[in-house]
Structure 1
């Protein structure tokens, strides 16, 4: 295995590591491979993750090494480190398989397939390190950790209930389980004997009879589209309980109807009941803090996919760790690190000490928040006193714009925005209005957050007053404000509502058509100051809908850049409602030279849809000059009501529109929608009948085609059988011929083998004769040599006898004893030896001359016979 190095990079947000898997496709495009599962080891030294392609990545958090396991975990549904052993990982699959691997060597230690459904969870007891529990929706089995042998299986009515969750309790060998009937069971791990049964929903109902729940708002940036989908798809058939977690002394239960319940496990009574209206909690997990045991800190994952840390002892202490996109959360054993698996496929790892420190700061400053709010309200009052409207107008005329940092405060105080959070929340909770259902196609934006906020604000306006749902220009008018103040939607909504309530009070007299009277005032003032330009518009058949209404319905955002737009709206908000009319006239006057060079109506229309070089100082100065010098008979102020701010506590209705027509149109629309639903139902029935007839016809055609194909198949089989019979007959003939050839070959081989044996025997005999001849030659040569040596010995012995005789004769002359007497025995012995030698020489000579040639002749004659 190849190990790579990585580094921790600490950020102010607490994030220390960002893990993602990005590859380059064959076309050169970058593709993100999504991570599906992640977990920490029991010793907090290792971290493992599995992506959608089954690659298992191991991270050594102590040595900053990472590597990929050589095999793959395809369809991985759960991933856990074995306890008290950092070197083993257990993985479960969607097909019901269980595997264990050694991360150090990469070996697959065990692999079994005990289930037929997806494995939802694997858990381990606190003391017994030899077993583990694996569960699906319908089954739960305890296995031996060392050999994966099954020890116990849970027996329960699976047809009536399903297992939502089953794990070992913290610091215990007992097992808790959540079933689809909203009950929580405590079992022994030895034989699954029940110990305790709790009904949290019943306990909550009894609690609510005497007490009210605490309220908390997780809905700071809720995606209403998600909320609507959730409201439609709530699955009550699997119970209200969405998740449960345990600490040593408490149990926290989250439900899909927006409740959090904290139980005392000693008495199984509710200690604390919290409700988060509109934002259910989908996942809860206790975060133990060693240096602050009094804190009951939990990690939450809400419907909006936010990850939030909450202190249950003080619900005002909460910290949003991750906004949006949270898929799963895993916390290390010592609570030092938190890994968040995002829907985008990446993993973010955080240092929890940063969050805990921020929560402590919040705890210290919680009492100061009220004082700060009171001080802020006092500051706003002082701003109103120090900077009254006439003073703001003087500052604006002097510097032409407000400071960017203080613009929201000035606008809010000048327009007297009430900051009605509860009223705005009620509008937002209604979800998306039907008028925004096509915004994804009509107004595609790259920034999804801005697009989502646009739909929220327009929906809130439509619920506030139904006329805004009938006007197509509202999203174009709202967009620049949403883009500018996307971090504060309540300010954005109240700003737009106040502008429409005052500056746009005459825009909806003929809704959903353009405001003819309002545009007539623009045209009258333009004809007074620039009759030549108006004459040009008439010649080009350009109406006020083009040179005035196009500017108003887009809030000038199409003809100005962002800085120019902010500067212009500083003046519009600071002045009276009629200032907006003079601004439209001034823009046409300032751009007169450019406009009158255009040669067609289409060119003029395109001009008012594009940004052009604009002198803002000249535009603002011209606007004020026109407004100051405008004759009384043309002044629009006589048609406008006085400035009316939004009420505090609630939003008054916008009523300056043809309510009877709008109501009639709404009724007509509702009627048409009802008719449309009826037609859709009938169309659906017709489609069902058509589909049924089509299916019947298709079945008939399939049956006919099947019969034809079966006959074709039958004929093909018959032809194939005949072909096979012919082939078998031919093979039989070939077999007979082959057998005959084989017999002939065998006979030839037998004869050849017989001849070969005879030739081999002959060669062996010839070899034997040759060897025998050579042997006889060697014997003859040896005998001749022996004969020569024997003759030589005889001569030597004869010489010795002569010498001895000579010596005896000499001695006989000297002595008195005769030689015949003295050497009688010796002479006799010598004579005997001479006789024996002569006899032996005769035998040898006879054998050489007579017997040897006859033996050779017999041996040669035998070889010839063979």
Structure 2
């Protein structure tokens, strides 16, 4: 693990050599802001209080107790001191419409907007009468919600004027007010455990979630999935309530380990391939440990933090790759979560099932001392049965609704599967592993040099399809270098890219399956043409149209020119 001390520094490198994340928890670097010692006072750290990632997840801002705001760019390996505010920061937000701007709430109850490039103040907004504890930015980046214990305010970030103010009775405090991701819905939670949803334009109440029966949950923290369909709520207990916001019902209750007595913060871990249906929830409890839990299986996946140096709060990048936590000793810890999530992305182990009432099982000899002649007969009988019966193993591996014989009949009769189910059927038949982690590792390697100028050789009108094609081809070239030298690969891959443009992982795995299972003989004479395949094609042509073959021979049109 590397360390960085930003004491009396205005800019510099985050790390001096490429970091090697810890295999235990993915820790990359520890960042501190030490205070030089004097004759009368020993040196100590200025505590970092809050962090926030930008919308790309490439950089984050961090504020300390003395009001210093630093910007750390993980991708460019640079940091800089943006501002010295003189007041401790109480909340941060860095995902505004103008990418270089961020919002900071200060202990003097004010809300300010700064630009990290110019390092100048853009706006100063006043109106709160207590400390701002949370800032939520609309998906468009145009509006922001600020929450204090006695009021919530809606701000227009184009004019930096307050649009609305929600005042609360003295006996009912606010816990959190935030936008639901990718929607115009505002979720408000109060200290009496009531949760309301409002339309952000009209502020009309859309619905209220019922309070769960039994012991009072005393909610303190909330988090919503990226698609805005599930809301997680936790408080002064070891139970997390998951709400289905479509039906407004309690979906399930997740029970944390017995050592957990309360929940301080919740954050969903984004994933590139889950289409916003986040499955992993990060839970910071009173013991200072962040536990990542699968909300469907309720299984503890991994945890971050130790009892010796507790986590005070944490932020997760929009890509789900990095996590930054403020620690009890005042330092910042930057983690690479891909290191600890490798096991999560692996496909499940194959299931071994016992097939009962199978005629093939009758051919197995149960008596070990039986004669070899009987064994040969059993084997012969087994082969005959396999020819006359459907592939039981294949049927067992398919989903229950699919039958291999029926699928063959449909394909033979209609030539294709229904468009509505075509993608699902082929994914099931090909038994794709859907290894998210392996594919993400290939994508993270960037564009392969062989396909850096693909737009010049294969101009495509749609820039989106061109980027997807470049990404898929680069991943295949990183996976196997031979694909970086295969000139016909873009032409072969493009139809699949066009069909599976919304699921890059499936597109990559289907192409890989085809190349490995049906095109493996194409590379036996690489980089020369596949003589064996061309010979087969010539034999087929000679059988079906010998006059066309004679025409090719007469004018010296070789199989390499006509077929390859």
Structure 1 distance, partners of 2:162, 2:207, is 25
Quote how far apart the aligned CAs of 1:147 are: 2.9
Q: Relative to structure 1, is the Cα distance of residues 366 and 297 closer, same or farther in structure 2, using a 3 angstrom cutoff?
A: farther
Q: How far is 1:362 from its partner? A: 11
1:244 counterpart residue number: 222
Matches within 5 A, 1:702-713: none
Q: 1:101: how far off?
A: 0.8
Q: Given the superposition, is the C-alpha separation of residues 93 and 130 from structure 1 closer, same or farther in structure 2, using an over 3 Å criterion?
A: same
Residues 382-531 of structure 1 mapped to structure 2, 5 A cutoff: none
Query: What is the rounded CA distance, in whole Å, between the counterparts of 2:96 and 2:112 in structure 1?
Result: 15
d(CA) in 2 for partners of 1:341, 1:256: 21
Shift of 1:257: 2.4
Partner of 1:281: 263
2:312 is the counterpart of 1:327:
yes
1:622-637 correspondence to structure 2 within 5 Å: none
Say yes or no: does 1:54 pair with 2:67: yes
Check whether the contact 1:187–1:196 (CA below 8 A) recurs between aligned residues: yes
Q: Deviations over 1:649-676 (max 9, x none)?
A: xxxxxxxxxxxxxxxxxxxxxxxxxxxx
Q: 1-side partners of 2:170 and 2:180: how far apart?
A: 26
Q: Sort the Cα spacing of 1:95 and 1:366 in 2 relative to 1 into closer, same or farther, 3 A.
A: farther
Aligned to 1:135: 147
Match of 1:175 in 2: 186
The residue matched to 1:358 in structure 2 has which SS? coil
1:261 aligns with 2:241: yes
What's the counterpart of residue 321 of structure 2? 336
Deviations 1:336-382 (A, max 9, x none): 11111111111111112122213346965999xxxxxxxxxxxxxxx
The answer to whether the 8 Å contact 1:42/1:333 transfers is yes
Distance 2:286 2:137 in 1: 29
Q: How does 1:524-603 map to 2 (within 5 A)?
A: none
1: distance between equivalents of 2:348 and 2:98? 38
Checking the alignment, whether the CA contact within 8 Å between 2:87 and 2:106 is kept in structure 1 is: yes
Q: Secondary structure at the match of 2:299?
A: coil
Task: Give the alignment's TM-score, normalised by structure 1.
Answer: 0.37
The equivalent of 1:718 in structure 2 is none
Whole-Å separation in 2 of the counterparts to 1:87 and 1:291: 28
Q: Distance in 2 between matches of 1:363 and 1:260?
A: 27
1:126 aligns with 2:142: no
C-alpha deviation, 1:278, in angstroms: 4.6
SS at the partner of 1:25? coil
In the aligned structure 1, how far is the partner of 2:96 from the partner of 2:200?
17
Q: 1:147, 1:9 → 2: CA distance?
A: 42
What is the deviation of 1:189?
1.5
Report deviation, 1:62.
Answer: 2.3
SS at 2:158 equivalent = coil
1-side partners of 2:247 and 2:201: how far apart? 24
Residue pair 1:76, 1:92 contacting (<8 A) in 2 also:
yes
**SS at 1:154's partner residue?**
strand
Aligned match of 2:28:
16
Conservation of the 8 A alpha-carbon contact between 1:154 and 1:192: no
Q: 1:76 to 1:244 in 2, by over 3 A?
A: same
The aligned counterpart of 2:287 is 304
- Relative distance call for 1:161 and 1:20 in structure 2 (3 A) is same
Q: Is the 8 A contact 2:268 2:278 kept in 1?
A: no
Tell whether the 8 Å contact from 1:37 to 1:49 is kept in structure 2 after alignment. Answer: yes
Q: Secondary structure at the match of 1:126?
A: coil
Write 1 or 2 for the structure with the bigger share of helix.
Answer: 1
Q: Distance in 2 between matches of 1:10 and 1:48?
A: 22
Cα deviation for residue 31 of structure 1 reads 1.5
Q: Of 3, 19, 37, which residue of structure 1 is paired with 2:11? A: 3
- Map Cα deviations across residues 102-122 of structure 1 (whole Å, 9 max, x no partner): 111111111132111101111
- Cα gap change, 1:60/1:161 in structure 2, threshold over 3 Å: closer, same or farther? same
Structure 1's 366 and 54: CA in aligned 2 closer, same or farther, altered over 3 A? farther
The structure whose RCO (Cα within 8 Å, separation 6+) is larger is: 2
Shift of 1:290: 1.9
**Residue 175 (structure 2) pairs with residue 195 (structure 1):** no
How do 1:95-110 residues align onto structure 2 when only pairs under 5 Å count?
95-110=108-123
Q: 2:105 aligns with which of 73, 80, 92?
A: 92
Distance 2:278 2:97 in 1: 28
Q: What SS class does the counterpart of residue 37 from structure 1 fall into?
A: strand
Separation in structure 2 between the aligned mates of residue 30 and residue 312 of structure 1, nearest angstrom: 44
Whether contact under 8 Å (2:87, 2:108) holds in the other structure is no
Q: d(CA) in 2 for partners of 1:97 and 1:281?
A: 28
Aligned 8 A contact 1:164 1:180 in 2 = yes
TM-score by length of structure 2 reads 0.55
Residue in structure 2 matched with residue 150 of structure 1 by the alignment: 162
After TM superposition, give the deviation of residue 152 of structure 1 in Å. 1.3
CA distance in 2, matches of 1:146, 1:66: 28
Say if 1:168 and 1:174, in contact at 8 Å, map to a contact too.
yes
**CA–CA separation in structure 2 for the residues paired with 1:286 and 1:112:** 30
Structure 1 residue 52, shift from structure 2 partner: 1.0
Q: Deviations over 1:218-273 (max 9, x none)?
A: xxxxxxxxxxxxxxxxxx8xx61122211122111213122112222111222222
The residue aligned with 1:40 is 53
Structure 1 unaligned residues grouped into runs of 5+: 209-235, 368-866
When residues 302 and 84 of structure 1 are mapped into structure 2, their CA distance, relative to the original with a 3 A threshold, is same
Question: 1:349 aligned to 2:334?
Answer: yes
Residue pairs, 1:225-240, within 5 angstroms: 240=218
- Contact 1:132-1:144 at 8 Å conserved across structures: yes
**Aligned pair in 2 of structure 1 residues 201, 360: CA closer, same or farther (>3 Å)?**
same
Per-residue CA deviation, residues 288-320 of structure 1 (Å, 9 max, x unaligned), is 222356761010111211111111222334211
* CA distance in structure 2 between the partners assigned to 1:83 and 1:366 by the alignment: 47
Any conservation in 1 of the 2:93–2:137 contact (CA below 8 Å)? no
CA shift for structure 1 position 25: 1.3
Residues of 1 paired with 2:68 and 2:315: CA distance?
A: 19
1:595-744 mapped onto 2 (5 Å cutoff): none
Give the match for residue 432 of structure 1: none
Mapped to 2, the partners of 1:158 and 1:82 lie a distance apart of 31
Conserved in 2, the CA contact under 8 Å of 1:91 and 1:98?
yes
| Distance apart, 1:334 and its partner CA | 1.4
Structure number with larger C-alpha Rg: 1
Moved more, 48-57 or 349-358: 349-358
- What runs of 5+ residues in structure 2 fail to find an aligned partner? 1-8, 353-564
Call closer, same or farther: CA 1:68–1:262 in 2, change over 3 Å.
same
Q: Does 1:161 align with 2:172?
A: yes
